[in-house]
Structure 1
Amino acid sequence: ISDLARALNVSRSTVQNRLHRLEQSGVVKGYVLEYGSAFLSQLVSAHVAIKVRQKLTTKTNVELKQISQISELYAISGEYDLIAVVQAQSTEQLSHILDEIGNLDGVERTNSSVILETKFKR
């Protein structure tokens, strides 16, 4: 809060009061930890497209949520049903995670793309 107050050239109490009002009004729901670029640059990231067997979508989503290296999961249109964002410590760990995803009962097939470089992120 102190850094934010300095950046905005206002008092710390002004920032605290404004944040409190935003929280109370429902504009701000909560806060999340966002990893810095120094940490993220050490990870191997991949987008994994997942085709799910019919009638196993809910079960598969629950199982995918249990894999801590999956940071995001999106339902998509097209040939595949889901896209998972996977972040691993190494290519070896990524390979194990891809095997784990592919071996789930509800997963029919996957297609993975390793992220080589982030051009920009908003």
Structure 2
Amino acid sequence: MEEIDRRIVRLLLADGRMSYTDLGRATGLSTSAAHQRVRRLEQRGVIKGYRAVVDAESVGLPLTAFISVKPFDPAAPDDVPDRLKELGEIESCHSVAGDENYILKVHVATPSALEGLLARVRSAANVSTRTTIVLSTPFDGRMPELPDPDPDPVA
């Protein structure tokens, strides 16, 4: 990826609503050139989308937890994500290495709502679970710094 594209991605990570005019000013491009660059980054799948980041507590979901999932039968088909995709409390599902197969990030209103969700996860996917409740979140959802492109080994 070209350095100018890296700069655009960094700027959009900081402010996904930045205008093409402001992107152009920050990168030395014209507004139309900034727009074309962003469109190409979207077409190539570098930029996958834009979304609002909502405070879960403000919308009545103050309890966040991570649920580690392990199938009872390791020989069973690995269809856990398909079995759980309809459970709206699940924000994300990550396939992981280790004892468990997946880790789910969930948001619920109360401990009893979490208990009910755990029962539905176990039943829907035929899995055992291990749950960690989040006490606080100092930061979340940030992208690590983008690595610099490989230096020219000849130079």
Per the normalisation by structure 1, the TM-score is 0.74
Q: Which has the higher contact order (CA 8 A, sep 6+)?
A: 1
CA distance in 1, matches of 2:137, 2:56: 11
The answer to whether residue 84 in structure 2 is matched with residue 69 in structure 1 is: no
Alignment counterpart, residue 56 of structure 2, candidates 36, 40, 64 = 40
Alignment counterpart, residue 119 of structure 1, candidates 113, 120, 138 = 138
Q: Which residue matches 1:78?
A: 98
Alignment counterpart, residue 23 of structure 1, candidates 26, 33, 42 = 42
Would you say the 8 A contact 2:94–2:104 is kept in 1? yes
TM superposition shift of 1:7 = 4.4
Which structure's CA Rg is the greater one?
2
Change in CA separation of 1:7 and 1:114 when aligned onto 2, cut-off 3 Å = farther
Change in CA separation of 1:20 and 1:5 when aligned onto 2, cut-off 3 Å = closer
Would you say the 8 A contact 1:57–1:106 is kept in 2? no
Structure 2: gaps of 5 or more residues: 1-15, 143-155
Amino acid in the other structure paired with 2:124: L
CA distance in 2, matches of 1:57, 1:68: 23
CA distance in 2, matches of 1:41, 1:7: 32
What RMSD in Å do the two structures reach over aligned CA positions? 2.7
TM superposition shift of 1:80 = 2.0
Amino acid in the other structure paired with 1:101: V
Q: Which residue matches 2:119?
A: 99
Deviation string for 1:83-111 (max 9, x for gaps)? 1111223333222111111223521x211
Per the normalisation by structure 2, the TM-score is 0.61
Alignment counterpart, residue 129 of structure 2, candidates 96, 110, 113 = 110
Aligned residue pairs total: 118
Higher strand share: 1
Q: Which residue matches 1:88?
A: 108
